[in-house]
Structure 1
Amino acid sequence: ARWFARGVLPLWNPYALCGIPWIAALQEGFLYPPHVLYLLLPTPTAFAASTVFHLIFIGISTVLFARRAGLGYAPAVLAAVLFVLRGTTILFAATEPPQLEASAWLPLGALAVVDLARGGGRRPVAILALSTSLSILAGYPQITVYLVYTWVALLIALLVGGRPGVRRGVAAAGLFAAGLALGALGGGAQLLPSAELLRLGTRSSQSLTVDAMFPLVGYVFGNPGFRSLGEAVAGSSVSFGVVGLAFAAAAPFAARRRPLALWALVCCALTLVFALGPLTPFFQLYRALPTLSWFRLPNRVLCVTDFAFATTAAVGFDAALAVGDRMTTTPRARIRLPGAVLAALLALAAASLLVIVGVGESGDWRPALVAAGGIAALAALAWSRPSRRPPIAGALVALAVIEIFLTPPLDEILPYTSSATAVYRKHEKTFVLLGRIAMSQRVWVLNWISPDVAQKRLAIYGLRSFDDYEPVNPLRQSQYYTYFVDGAPTVSHWPWLFPGNLINLKPYGQAPPLQARRRLLDLAAVRFVVMHRAALLQPEVRDFVQAAGLQRWWMPLPREPATPTGEELVVFENPHALPRAYVVYRSRPAPEVSELLGRISQDGFDPLVESYVEGAPPIAGGPGSRQRGAAAPITLDEERVVEVEPTLASPGFLVLADSFYPGWQATVDGAPAPILPANHLFRAVPVPAGRHRVRFEYRPWSFTLGAGASLASLAVIIFLLRPGREASSRTLTPTSAPARAARRA
């Protein structure tokens, strides 16, 4: 938000991992329009406002979808209640806001699909495109992929069930594809930079292994989908609930909404099975579907499960309300509809029995009491006249709400107030001081799960963090950091992919300890190492500090008194840290990655004497070239622009210890100059003898082209949404020949 306020687009993050493309890292959602709240409000207030906005939007759009699909008001409200107030929606709101924002557009896109299946034209296309592009811009592509699969399945179900004819079916499918394509174009400002990063990164468009897909303690105990089975009936925020399950059991008897019911039932069951991972053979189908195996934690597909479940329950509720309503049902429906109430009653009784015998997290009697109230309301519904059913329907919806609010609240710290976020400011004075001292050099904060030293906050203080959690990262960084810890360029153990932060200082296998590769820390210009004092109790940390020659910082730290648990910070200075910018007069071609990293990690490697540069002939040097290079002063150090003024005795290279990545452009005294990879991770620019000004500027073509695509898509969407008459929608429900004849007449 501060960057936008200064007119700076956050395209590049210089404060993490020696620099990383920021907008391409997918999860930040910088271009997501509702994030304008962070420019207008204090951050905690903006968090709360964004969450409330999305929950309200999800509720309203779910009601609109259910109504457009032909369901009554009470069933539509029940669908919104079950989708908004329980399950993944609440979990996303509390723990993963980007996932909430990406999934918020599922109901609106489904509404557009309903209209397209009915023969709608430009406006449903525009709404589908808008839903797709906003889900992309929210910054969680895995959720967007799930949404697209859900919409595709819904369209197929409605077209098959509605029997519109081949020509109309093909037209609807074509308009649907056009809407998705227009939406993808609208997300181009996010998609193109991300595609570039995937091409050059560790998370390429290839299938992950099962171990990599479930990095948290495996696919059994580390799978939230499996863990939630024990509380599926009642007792927690992820439980389906006895009221919802009862009406879901009635959905197969909804003759008037059969295509919608079958889609919802199949979608709910299949995604629930997918979330269990390799515990079922259906996971092979999940992995075979395009793009799904690119992402970790398949249990996130439960957001689709919850939407499909809410729709299933709403369809069943609608069928139960239609009992005896002979004015609006077909003869076949009059025979089958009473089965909806019977199925709901039996399901309520079964759920109540399960709760009483202790199935569920709490084994509480209150859900059983809710089930008893539901049985009474359903009995009254079955025997009442249609004119008296609205209050009973309202009572059933109220029972669903009451059941949800009877569950224990989530045990999460919500960052909606200044007091709740105070933990992140605990060491603020220390980091402000370090920001003034470190200047252009880097800081390594040893942190695993402590929020008070979260690396992402270092950017606020102008500190360049050596590592940070960025699971989508360039391959060069993954190789460099993995070699630093393990002595090998590829990850061969948990968590199976380089996550961006160094979560363990113990090398894997028989590799020498970390201090044997300390030089990689020096090359990255890491001057300070910060940790809790308690971290020194770990042998690998204590040994590294001693063997690497780190020196305790002499300056007293503000507000860091000693504590019995060692929660205060201690700062060590790295006396071997190299300058972030320097001149070198000799170069060699880079060997294979493992050999290169092995050479530059040796204590005797001096990059100011000789560096490894890719893509350029080696420089043996001229007069004065045998001397050691020198540090080069950085005169301008901004987020996307760095200027250095080196002085060279002979032609050589200016090396900047920032990540090499496409999109960076260099000039020497205003003339374009190539940027070459140096010492595997960093940048080198050939510079002639004398004093020069070298300017690095990040101007990625991927964002420029993507932003143009997004603006073009927005213009088309606005044009399609223009006021004007549009062809009326056709019904989803198949009609008989006499009815069609009457309509023609």
Structure 2
Amino acid sequence: MKLRCELLLACGLFLALVLIFWSEALPEDRTLFLRDLSAEIIPVRSFWVRSGGFALWNPYSFFGMPYSANPQNQAFYPFNLFYYFFGAERGLVFYIIFHHFLFVFTLYWALREMGFQREGSFLGAIGFSFGGFFCSLSMLVAVLSTLIWFPLIIIFLIRAGKSHWLKPGLGIGLLIALQVFAGEMEIAGISWLLSLFAILFLPEDIRGHLSVRRIFLALGLGIFFGAILSAFQWLITLEFIPLSNRASGFGLVDALLWSIEPFQLKSFVIPNYILPASRLSLSTSAFWGLGFFSEYSYFLSLYSGIIVLLLALFSMGGVRSWKIWFWVLLAGFALAMSMGNTLPVYKFFYFHIPFFNLFRFPSKFLFLFYFALMMLAVYGWQRIQHKPRRIFGFGVLIIGIGLLLYLIFSRLNLEDSSLGAELIAHKFFLRSSLRVLAFFCLGLGLIFLLGSNMRFWLSAGLGVLCFLDLFFAHRYLNPVIKRDFYRGNSYVQEFNNQKRSLVYPPRIASLSAPSEELSFQWLTDPIELYSRLRDGLENYWSTYFGIADLRAYSLFCLSEVSELGKLLAEDSLSPGVRRLALARSGVEYIYYRDYGFVNLSLSYPRALILYQAKIVKDREQIFRIFSDANFPGLRSVLIEAEDKVAGDKNFAPMSDFARVISYENEKVVIDAEARADGWLLLLDSYYPGWRAFVDGKEVRIYRANGFFRAVKIPAGRHRVIFNYFPESFTRGLLISGIGFFLWLFLFGISFKMGKGRK
């Protein structure tokens, strides 16, 4: 069968499998909600859609926050078009299905290009793409979007090694640019390394025909063009990092979050027993959490599939080549790295490798582990060479069928009041273990029943078993919910109806509930948990509803977020002074999910004119003065500057309100009428990249009151415009534009070279 026809058939088959796997999410009224999906992804993507598909600044986060500078927002990732055309809720479903299909298909293609048999490539692609690691990525969208381009990088590297390296290198450049836009550079870096490993440790009959020099030239060219084409992303990110909470990297405690613990290792072999969250009754919904008997890891499932493990064991039989040993050692190294809290390997790298402190979450090294395991499984398939042993195979097959029939006809009645939580958890573990044992027996029985004489039927049978094993383990891993879940509670709906006509979004400070109410527990109803997060406006929920909230920010945010948190947490501050500090920051309402929105008296308007400025060079001192109850915030502004920009006045009149005419993401227009020379204070975040114009003339923006923007204005009436279009972004666009034309030029040359060779 020619490769092109084979790939077309594989494309149709994999598309069918992916649609079967995601069948519960296909109805029009369904969407997803677990973990970051409802807490961050859908709210942030809905903001991006409301912004017309382009946003550099997010005014709903904190006092305003760079949007596109945070790479995990994927502001320039082209496949965000799914959100744009279908809306954030439904677009997410299509986004995940598309990426899942693209990965399983290109992984199969990559394995075929690597010289593996059709059947082994099929089993490897099924095992990796429906295993716990990859299925967990459907809740970690940035990781998913970065990782799925990795098989295509392998394909282009092999093509470069076989012939001319220019065209594949240019293709790799596009893929690396997509990885940069996808937002997970740690995963991107691992994928480049893993691509080289996959090429350098190919089977001898393929490896001998490849030029290592051309492979490295193609990868180098790809990294170069990937950096050039994505310059407008990483330049604004590099500008953001020194001003963020990641300026000095991650501390060891933060870096070691989401390590694999020893007791979780059993989940590599025995999957969590996951119930369909949306189908459970009120009396049984909390039992959903009991199925996670290894607690909740960064990747919600660690199960690799018993058929994959079985085939990997076959790779260890007979004469073991050094390639097999390489993948075994790589799997062991990756597992040791992922156990950062328990084993010293990750800590050694953290303290001795430069810039390694920018890498967080040891669990991400499981990418290496599961790929190495897949490679062992593919090699294992090629080592099945024995003749059929039908009596033994048939006997083992019967045991597997018997176990499956037992599981089908002995259903667990969760409504039985005599069953306690511990007993139910034990039964879940037992049923999961029996299911794995059943598929193990079925797989082993097929291998011995058919042997190597009937490889097509053996591969078809193992493929079906591999898919069914992983389907039953993971089909409810990312549960579905009806779209009306994304409606706000009555407080939010009423508030939005009242404030719909305002020029700028109202600013609130939402109060967080106790942490135990907002995290997974042993007994957890996920729908109830995420309903609490929604109703409490946790994470980015306020952004989804178009409300500006001080607590709406991600783990990658401005350093001022922690500075404000410390300021408000000072023991010396009374509750009244804390409320005063919030009012001085333009906060209009306090929100708590059980009481709704409470008006904050004496809240400052978003823009006001002050006639006295106090120059303070130390920001800590500014925070102390700003939070002092005696600070005359309606008469004076604190300016952080080295040079003398204004003198203190013995007496200053009360401030005047300035009228906000227009308030967009990257542009704020204000009408200000000053009685004398003074300062226009805008209670939005100070950040480089903002430019101010008074009556069309550009003026300097000063950091005011520690967090905000201020400009000097003369007496009289003025039109003041704040624009956000940072120079770093402009430079990036210029570099990327030139790079794109260079890419097109070289692609044309490579195309002509290809035609000439033909």
State TM-score, norm by structure 1.
0.76
Q: Which amino acid aligns with 1:199?
A: P
1:621-670 CA distance string (max 9 Å, x none): 67x96212222111221111111222223222111111000110011111
The aligned residue for residue 228 of structure 1 is 264
Counterpart secondary structure, 1:279: coil
Q: How does 1:343-422 map to 2 (within 5 A)?
A: 362=431, 364-382=433-451, 384-385=452-453, 388-407=454-473, 409-410=475-476, 412-414=478-480, 417-419=482-484, 421-422=485-486
Per-residue displacement from partner, 1:153-180 (whole Å, max 9, x unpaired)?
Answer: 4455569998879x95444323312211
Residues in 1 aligned to 2:66 and 2:239: alpha-carbon distance in whole angstroms? 10
Tell me whether 448-457 or 8-17 shows the greater mean CA deviation: 448-457
Question: 1:697-716 counterparts in 2 under 5 A?
Answer: 697-716=723-742
Measure how far apart 1:432 and its partner are.
1.1
Q: Which runs of 5+ in 1 are unaligned?
A: 216-221, 325-341, 488-509, 534-568, 730-745
1:524 corresponds to 2:585: yes
Cα distance, 1:517 vs structure 2? 3.5
Corresponding position of 2:416: none
Which residue is equivalent to 1:443?
Answer: 508
Q: Which AA in structure 1 matches 2:380?
A: G
What is the alpha-carbon distance in structure 1 between the residues aligned to residue 92 and residue 437 of structure 2?
A: 36
2:305 corresponds, among 212, 220, 241, to: 241
Tell me which residue corresponds to 2:596: 570
CA deviations 1:718-744 (Å, max 9, x no partner) are: 556665564999xxxxxxxxxxxxxxx
Match of 2:367 in 1: 303
Given the alignment of the two structures, is residue 484 of structure 1 paired with residue 568 of structure 2, yes or no?
Answer: yes
Does the CA-based 8 Å contact 1:117-1:172 persist in structure 2?
yes
Aligned to 1:209: 251
C-alpha offsets along residues 268-294 of structure 1, whole Å, 9 cap, x if unaligned?
Answer: 322222111131121134424454431
User: How many Å apart are 1:90 and its aligned residue?
Assistant: 0.8
Is this contact kept in 2: 1:525–1:579, CA < 8 A?
A: yes
CA distance in 2, matches of 1:411, 1:264: 28
Instruction: Check whether the contact 1:29–1:137 (CA below 8 A) recurs between aligned residues.
Output: yes
Change (3 A) 1:170 1:582: same
Moved more, 522-531 or 146-155: 146-155
2:182 to 131, 138, 141: 138
Question: Equivalent residue for 1:643?
Answer: 669
Describe the SS at the equivalent of 1:278: coil
TM-score normalised by length of structure 2: 0.75
Question: Is 2:684 the partner of 1:658?
Answer: yes
Q: 2:114–2:199: 8 Å Cα contact kept in structure 1?
A: no
SS in 2 for 1:27: helix
Q: Which moves more between the two structures, 168-177 or 184-193?
A: 168-177
The structural deviation recorded for 1:233 is 1.0
CA distance in 2, matches of 1:25, 1:596: 28
One-letter amino acid matched to 2:252: V
- Determine helix, strand or coil for the equivalent of 1:365: helix
State the partner residue of 1:65: 110
SS in 1 for 2:688: coil
Question: What residue is the counterpart of 2:547 in the other structure?
Answer: 463
Comparing 233-242 with 115-124, greater Cα deviation is found at: 115-124
Q: What SS does structure 2 have at the residue aligned with 1:577?
A: coil
The one-letter amino acid paired with 2:255 is: M
Displacement of 1:523: 2.1
Amino acid paired to 2:565: Y
Counterparts of 1:657 and 1:687 in 2: how far apart (Å)?
Answer: 16
Deviation at 1:427, TM superposition (A): 4.9
Conserved? CA contact 1:121–1:175, under 8 Å? yes
Hey, what's the Cα distance between the residues in 2 that align with 1:428 and 1:71? 56
CA distance in 1, matches of 2:319, 2:732: 46
Counterpart of 1:673 (choices 686, 691, 699) is 699
Maintained 8 Å contact 2:77/2:178: yes
Residue 18 of structure 1 contacts residue 657 of structure 1 at CA under 8 Å; is this kept in 2? yes
Query: Given residue 228 of structure 1, which amino acid in structure 2 is its aligned partner?
Result: Q
Q: Deviations over 1:406-452 (max 9, x none)?
A: 3264454436x524x34556655223135348754411222454123
Q: Does 1:686 align with 2:712?
A: yes
User: Which runs of 4 or more aligned residues in structure 1 lie more than 6 Å from their structure 2 counterparts after TM superposition?
Assistant: 159-165, 254-257, 356-361
Inter-CA distance 607–176: structure 2 relative to 1 (3 Å threshold): same
Identity %: 21
Structure 1 distance, partners of 2:574, 2:198, is: 55
> 2:121 aligns to what?
76
* Cα gap change, 1:256 to 1:226, in 2 (>3 Å): closer
1:369-422 CA distance string (max 9 Å, x none) = 22222222222454x43xx3211122122221222233264454436x524x34
Q: Which stretch shifts more, 437-446 or 7-16? A: 437-446
Structure 1 position 277 matched with structure 2 position 340: yes
Task: For residue 113 of structure 1, report the CA deviation from its aligned partner.
Answer: 3.1
Change (3 A) 1:168 1:366: closer
Matched to 2:537, the amino acid is: A
Asked whether 1:105 is paired with 2:149, we answer yes
> How far does the alpha carbon of each residue in 1:490-546 deviate from its partner, in whole angstroms, 9 at most, with x for none?
xxxxxxxxxxxxxxxxxxxx665655433331221001111122xxxxxxxxxxxxx
- Residues 249 and 513 of structure 1: is their aligned pair in 2 closer, same or farther, counting only changes over 3 Å? farther
Return closer, same or farther for 1:618/1:42 CA change in 2, 3 Å cut-off.
closer
Separation of aligned partners in 2, 1:13 and 1:377:
57
Q: What is the alpha-carbon distance in structure 1 between the residues aligned to residue 478 and residue 490 of structure 2?
A: 19
C-alpha distance in 2 between matches for 1:124 and 1:274: 32
- Counterpart of 1:634 (choices 660, 675, 694) is 660
**Counterpart mapping for 1:35-50 below 5 A:** 35-50=80-95
- Using a 3 Å threshold, how does the CA distance of structure 1 residues 202 and 292 change in structure 2: closer, same or farther? same
Q: Check conservation: 2:47, 2:543, Cα contact below 8 A.
A: no
Which amino acid in 1 is paired with 2:271?
Answer: G
Provide the aligned length of Structure 1 versus Structure 2.
629
Contact map agreement 1:445 1:465 (CA 8 A) in 2: yes
Are the counterparts in 1 of residues 158 and 215 from structure 2 also a CA contact under 8 Å? no
Which whole-Å CA distance do the structure 2 matches of 1:479 and 1:161 have between them?
60
* Closer, same or farther: CA 265–106 of 1 in aligned 2, 3 Å: farther
> 2:558 maps to which residue?
474
1:318 aligns with 2:318: no
1:452 correspondence with 2:535: yes
Q: Could you tell me whether the CA contact under 8 Å between 1:621 and 1:650 is conserved in 2?
A: no
Instruction: Identify if the C-alpha distance between structure 1 residues 197 and 379 changes in structure 2 by more than 3 Å, giving closer, same or farther.
Output: same
Taking a change above 3 Å as real, the CA distance of residues 241 and 413 of structure 1, as seen in their structure-2 partners, is closer
CA distance in 2, matches of 1:159, 1:121: 21
Aligned residue identity for 1:53: F
Match of 1:617 in 2: 644
Partner of 1:336: none
Aligned amino acid, residue 82 of structure 1: G
Distance in 2 between residues matched to 1:254 and 1:631, nearest whole Å: 83
SS of the residue 1:238 aligns to: coil
Q: Kindly report the root-mean-square deviation, in angstroms, between the aligned alpha carbons of the 2 structures.
A: 3.6
Q: Alpha carbons of 1:484 and 1:434: their partners in 2 closer, same or farther (altered >3 Å)?
A: farther
Q: Is the 8 A contact 1:230 1:360 kept in 2?
A: no
Aligned ranges 1:598-613 → 2 under 5 Å = 598-613=624-639
| Amino acid of the structure 2 residue aligned with 1:528 | Y
Query: Partner residue of 2:28?
Result: none
Q: Deviations over 1:331-384 (max 9, x none)?
A: xxxxxxxxxxx9xx9xx99xx9xxx999977553232222222222222454x4
